[in-house]
């Protein structure tokens, strides 16, 4: 008997390099991806900075987070969302992101959370 | 209910590390089952057995150890978070040729899969410090 | 299907404003740790009736605070109440 | 030959119990106090919450920070300042503080910093 | 007698606004770490001519950012420039 | 000039720990003298000798150790911050009857007086992570 897949939603709200939180959330997502569940990844607030193009983290001896995000499709993490308001507030646009993401308004985010069995934010 | 506790913050640096402990204690007192306590990111500092706070301050590592022992809790410290932060058991110390191990008794090092696994099989996950 | 939103920081930009935008009727807010400083602020006072707000008593009293008399949409819970809130909502979500 | 005393200013900007920063700054102040220098201690922003009366940190197994602050005169730390604006914004008043402090406006704080040899904030 | 104000967080409430209130003519601001996100914001654009603003190049480029063209009161420094700034002001002060 | 460096934040948790290292390296390259590097609060985690980051990540503990050795830096980890956080040398391990010590070579445990002393006798203090 197969168990019904659950829905796990991960909310990335941290800047990419100021702390290790962005990387820590991404590691959680990749770990969850191998469990064959429904995975949502949502970038909100300052988390959208993780999606900025042309990051050169080698300048501060850090690993490239946007490159790691580019590997999400290999893990079959395809439900990648971004808060449209957060992009706008930061002068970012969908077509200048390092990663393809589905824009969300507040109602869409509310629905994502309400449909989730568990939600993790970092 | 079956609860999973996720701890992201370090003792003495963030109150969240303490809140997680108090919540777990209260959940047990209310008759709930703790599926697993998972220490992640800075949360792993709660599993450093060398932690030695002043005698007149609350000792969170010891408090967790007592709770773990009393209730036979499954307490896992994320191995990759812990290694980065200089917390390891004898096995990892041997593997990385370190002269000492410092993982506090009662805690087990394991991977993030243990968090996902617990999250899928419990009723509620509660995160502290995030 | 409701969500418990847990807020543990005092700056609204550190969670409260995001939380307020995406919560829905029936959801609840719980202020803990430094989040308890928000209990007397305008965004909490302006919450609609459909949203319940709770404040962790231990964290409030530790800081020398009391619930403002006017805060009739905000109620105190202790750690036992915190556990009950977690169990009575479908999921919890921490906004730091 | 005696050296001219230096002026060290400590700016407390953290809430008392959310992190260990408030306690860490106070420990720095007490350590500096034994060096017979000019010590200023200024509470700014959320740091003024450290001065709130009726703290019961035993509720969360923490040590009473306001009690420790009460010991400052014993260490001859008498130049204790508080940002008036920060008090006002938080609904606190001078006469309801756990510790006696001199109220400061922005210009006064600017002067305190400019007169200091070193400034530490936490 | 000038002061170098170092800002390493992106929320204005985490340092920038306090710093702006108490700095004086001749002082300088240095944005580092997540503080570099502030370089394109209104409070920095509105700085008076008497205050110099600097942005750490390594932290800016790591994040995929560039100085806005309009930011003519803001200039990039590298780590060597950071050291020079510390030495050329009487004291430094970190606002986190 | 004579500079004192004060570090408040932990490696892997805050970029500030790395910034302090880069600044110190640049100050030395510019010919300045480092009076003392003082690791305080969460900053003491930089002195945990068991820290084992993944091979493809920057190892800040090793980087500090190399800089300390090359320039004979006076690198002090605050003893009370360190003990709370489970970092100790052999002497403290003996005193507190702990089975292991983990202070990284090159670092010395001492009190806050060393920070005040350095601050009074140097030209500039620069704080990271505060």
Q: How many domains does chain A have?
A: 1
| Confidence (pLDDT) at E27 | 97
Chain-wide mean pLDDT for chain F? 97
User: Which pairing describes strands A38-43 and A79-83: parallel, antiparallel, or unpaired?
Assistant: parallel
Q: What is the pLDDT of residue A103?
A: 98
In tens, the pLDDT along A6-51 reads 999 999 999 999 999 999 999 999 999 999 999 999 999 999 999 9
Residue F78 zone, left/alpha/beta (φ > 0; ψ -120 to 50; rest): beta
| Consecutive H or E run containing A10 | strand A7-12
Nearest CB partner across the interface for D56, out of C8, C37, C62: C62
Distance CA A69, CA A36 (A): 19
In a domain, A2, yes or no: no
Pick from E13, E17, E18, E37 the residue to mutate for testing the C interface (most C CBs within 10 Å).
E13
Q: What per-residue confidence (pLDDT) applies to D81? A: 98
How close does chain C come to A74, measured CA to CA in Å?
28
- Tell me if A67 is assigned to some domain: yes
Per-residue pLDDT of F92-112, as tens digits, reads 999 999 999 999 999 999 999
Q: How far is CA E38 from CA B129, E11, F15, in A?
A: 25, 8, 17
Task: Say which CATH number the domain at A26 has.
Answer: 3.40.1260.10
Using pLDDT thresholds of 50, 70 and 90, give the confidence band for residue C72.
Answer: confident
Residue of C13, C37, C96 to mutate for E, most E C-beta atoms under 10 A: C13
Instruction: Assign A66 a pLDDT band (cuts: 50, 70, 90).
Output: confident
In a domain, A65, yes or no: yes
Range of the domain at F43: 2-128
pLDDT of residue D1 exceeding 60: no
Taking alpha carbons only, the member of C30, C40, C9 closest to residue C82 is C30
CB contact under 8 A, E79 and F124: no
* Structural domain boundaries enclosing A38: 7-121
pLDDT (0 to 100) of residue D2: 60
Lowest mean pLDDT among D56-70, D93-107, E59-73, F59-73: E59-73
Distance from the B106 Cα atom to the nearest Cα atom in chain D, whole angstroms:
22
CATH number at residue E29: 3.40.1260.10
Evaluate whether D86 touches D109 at the Cβ level (below 8 Å). Answer: no
pLDDT of residue A7: 98
**Nearest CB partner across the interface for B120, out of A20, A21, A37:** A37
Range F63-89 average pLDDT: 98
E10 and C CB contact within 8 Å: no
Exposure class string for F75-105: b at 16+ Cβ within 10 A, else e: bbbbbbbbbbbbbbbeebbeeeebebbbbbe
Q: Which of F10, F84, F99 sits opposite B52 (nearest CB)?
A: F84
Average pLDDT, chain E: 93
CATH at F124: 3.40.1260.10
Three-state secondary structure string covering E16-27: HHHHHHHCCCCC
Residues of F in Cβ contact (< 8 Å) with A17: 15
- Model confidence over C1-59: pLDDT tens digits? 899 999 999 888 888 999 999 999 999 999 999 999 999 888 998 898 899 999 999 99
Q: Which two tokens stand for residue E69?
A: 């063209």
pLDDT at B62 over 60: yes
Whether the per-residue pLDDT at F55 is higher than 80: the answer is yes
Mean confidence (pLDDT) of chain B: 97
> What mean pLDDT is reported for chain A?
95
Distance CA D52, CA D99 (A): 8
Cβ-Cβ pairs closer than 8 A, A with F, add up to 18
Give C40 or F25, the one with higher predicted confidence.
F25
pLDDT of B3-36, one tens digit each?
999 999 999 999 999 999 999 999 999 999 999 9
Q: Do F49 and B96 touch (CB under 8 A)?
A: no
For chain E, which residues score pLDDT lower than 70? 70-71
Q: What pLDDT sits at residue C12?
A: 82
Q: How many domains does chain B have?
A: 1
User: What pLDDT is attached to residue C1?
Assistant: 83
Q: Which residue has the tokens 């449909």?
A: A115
Whether D97 maps to a domain, the answer reads yes
Q: How does residue F2 score in pLDDT terms, banded at 50, 70 and 90?
A: very high
Question: Does pLDDT of D11 surpass 70?
Answer: yes
pLDDT at position D67 is: 81
Residues of E in contact with C37 (CB under 8 A): none
Q: Which chains touch F (3 or more CB pairs under 8 A)?
A: A, B, D, E
Mean pLDDT within D10-35 = 97
**Structural domain for C13, as ranges:** 3-95
Nearest CA-CA distance, residue D4 and chain E, Å = 17
pLDDT band at A2 (very low <50, low <70, confident <90, very high): low
Measured between alpha carbons, how far is D93 from D90 in angstroms, rounded to an integer? Answer: 9
How many structural domains comprise chain E? 1
* pLDDT for the residue A68: 84
Gap between the Cα atoms of B46 and B61, Å rounded: 5
């Amino acid at each position: 008997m197969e168990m019904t897949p659950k829905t796990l939603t991960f909310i990335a709200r941290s800047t990419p390099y100021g702390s290790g939180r962005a990387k820590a959330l991404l590691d959680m997502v990749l770990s969850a991806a191998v469990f064959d569940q429904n995975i949502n990844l949502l970038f909100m607030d300052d988390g959208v900075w993780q999606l900025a193009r042309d990051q050169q983290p080698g300048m501060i001896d850090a690993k490239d987070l946007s490159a790691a995000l580019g590997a999400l499709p290999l893990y079959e993490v395809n439900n990648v969302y971004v808060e449209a308001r957060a992009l706008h507030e930061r002068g970012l646009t969908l077509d200048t992101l390092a990663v393809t993401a589905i824009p969300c308004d507040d109602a869409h985010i509310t629905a994502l959370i309400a449909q989730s069995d568990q939600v993790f934010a970092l | 209910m079956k609860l999973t506790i996720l701890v992201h913050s370090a003792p003495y640096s963030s109150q969240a590390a303490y809140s997680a402990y108090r919540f777990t204690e209260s959940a047990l007192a209310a008759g709930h089952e703790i599926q697993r306590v998972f220490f992640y990111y800075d949360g792993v500092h709660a599993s450093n057995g060398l932690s030695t706070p002043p005698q007149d301050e609350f000792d969170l590592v010891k408090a967790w150890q007592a709770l773990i022992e009393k209730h036979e809790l499954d307490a896992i410290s994320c191995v990759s978070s812990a290694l980065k932060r200089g917390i390891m058991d004898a096995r990892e110390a041997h593997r990385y040729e370190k002269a000492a191990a410092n993982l506090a008794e009662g805690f087990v090092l394991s991977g993030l899969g243990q968090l996902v696994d617990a999250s899928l099989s419990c009723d509620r996950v509660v995160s502290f410090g995030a | 299907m409701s969500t418990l939103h847990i807020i543990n920081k005092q700056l609204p930009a550190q969670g409260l404003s995001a939380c307020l935008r995406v919560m829905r009727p029936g959801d609840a807010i719980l202020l803990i740790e430094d989040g308890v400083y928000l209990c007397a602020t305008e965004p909490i006072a302006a919450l609609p009736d459909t949203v319940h707000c709770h404040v962790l008593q231990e964290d409030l009293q530790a800081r020398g605070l009391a619930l403002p008399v006017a805060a009739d949409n905000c109620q105190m819970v202790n750690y036992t109440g915190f556990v009950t809130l977690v169990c009575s909502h479908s999921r919890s979500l921490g906004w730091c």
